[in-house]
A and B are shown apart, each in its own frame.
Chain A
Amino acid sequence: MKNKGAVISTIVIASVAVILALIWALILSARVVNPTAKIYQDGKLIKTIDLTAVAEPYSFEITGEHGANTIEVRKGEIGIIAADCPDKVCINTGFIGGGAIPIICLPHRLEIRIESGEEALDGVAR
């Protein structure tokens, strides 16, 4: 059969796509209790914020040797609202308050992870 290869590869590619989408959905929906934001710069933990304890939204700036990011904290979520990096991927990621996806600003080597408060069970995120 001439088209056998094409049919098989279509099926394989489609199933790989479905599996990837499922894994992605799992990562996005990872549950977090008492979300705590941990801000890492150059791989080092520089700030820990308990997101459940935020009453009024506030923002602050983190300046590193590579550039500056303005981070806003709201009740239950955190996000980067301004940055002088070229790609703005960190801003486009939006606010996070759960899930396993961190906000990453590669050019500034800055990373914000959400972890469960107190007992952190984040074998995945590490």
Chain B
Amino acid sequence: MNTKKLVLLGVLTGIALILFTVENALPPIVPIVGVKLGLANTVTLLILFLGKDWRASDAALVLSARILLSALIVGQPMTLLFSAVGGTLSFLSMLLFKRVFRERLLPVVSVIGAFAHNIGQIAAAVIVYQSLSLLLYLPPLLLFGIVGGLLNGFIAVLCIRLQGKIFRKIG
């Protein structure tokens, strides 16, 4: 890993953290636990789809750094557990479906990532709180997951189209 890449990874982690913090500070869109746009996922998508010198492991690095650091901001151990489970599941499914849908359907991959994140979080919450009624939150979560996933997907497409060059030339 050369210096430029190291710096860019740091910058991207910073961007993801800022997106997360700003979104966290805003009042919730709807009063349902866990409904959010998940803007920080645009960074993961961006790295996954930059291609060339960027590998999935880079995206995994930035994502795990973001999850760990955001737990410090939120300050709740349970949130760390939920976002770690959701984040891992989301990342793996995006990695898998990236091969199916390619760059052209990036927003679809993003929606799948959002779905996996929600399902992972709810599954973790059901196990931790021993309450199956949490599953009732899945339909609205997935519904807003479509909205957030599409939004993030289109943002990532725009970022790659407009600013992809900055990231592609490494070394």
Interface of B is mostly: helix
- Enumerate chain B interface residues (CB-CB to A < 8 A): 28, 31-33, 76, 78, 101, 104-105, 108, 111, 125, 129-134, 136, 139-140, 142-143, 146, 150
Contact between B139 and A27 (Cβ–Cβ < 8 Å)? Answer: yes
Contact between B133 and A23 (Cβ–Cβ < 8 Å)? Answer: no
| Interface Cβ pair total, 8 Å cutoff | 69
Query: Could you say which residues of chain B place their CB within 8 Å of the CB of A43?
Result: 129-131
Query: When A20-B142, A92-B31 are in contact, do A5 and B105 touch as well, CB less than 8 Å?
Result: yes
Compute how far the CA of A107 lies from the CA of B25 in the bound complex, rounded to whole angstroms. Answer: 18
Contact of B143 among A6, A20, A109 (CB under 8 A): A20
Contact between B101 and A125 (Cβ–Cβ < 8 Å)? Answer: no
Find residues 64-88 in chain A having any chain B CB closer than 8 Å to their own CB: 86-87
Any chain B CB within 8 A of the CB of A33?
no
Q: Which of B32, B129, B132, B136 has the most CB of A within 10 A?
A: B136
Query: When A5-B101, A5-B105, A20-B142 are in contact, do A92 and B28 touch as well, CB less than 8 Å?
Result: yes
Compute how far the CA of A109 lies from the CA of B140 in the bound complex, rounded to whole angstroms. Answer: 21
Interface of A is mostly: mixed
Query: When A93-B31, A106-B33 are in contact, do A101 and B136 touch as well, CB less than 8 Å?
Result: yes
Compute how far the CA of A122 lies from the CA of B111 in the bound complex, rounded to whole angstroms. Answer: 32
Any chain B CB within 8 A of the CB of A17?
yes
Query: When A20-B139, A43-B129 are in contact, do A104 and B134 touch as well, CB less than 8 Å?
Result: yes
Compute how far the CA of A94 lies from the CA of B32 in the bound complex, rounded to whole angstroms. Answer: 11
Query: When A5-B101, A6-B105, A89-B31 are in contact, do A17 and B146 touch as well, CB less than 8 Å?
Result: yes
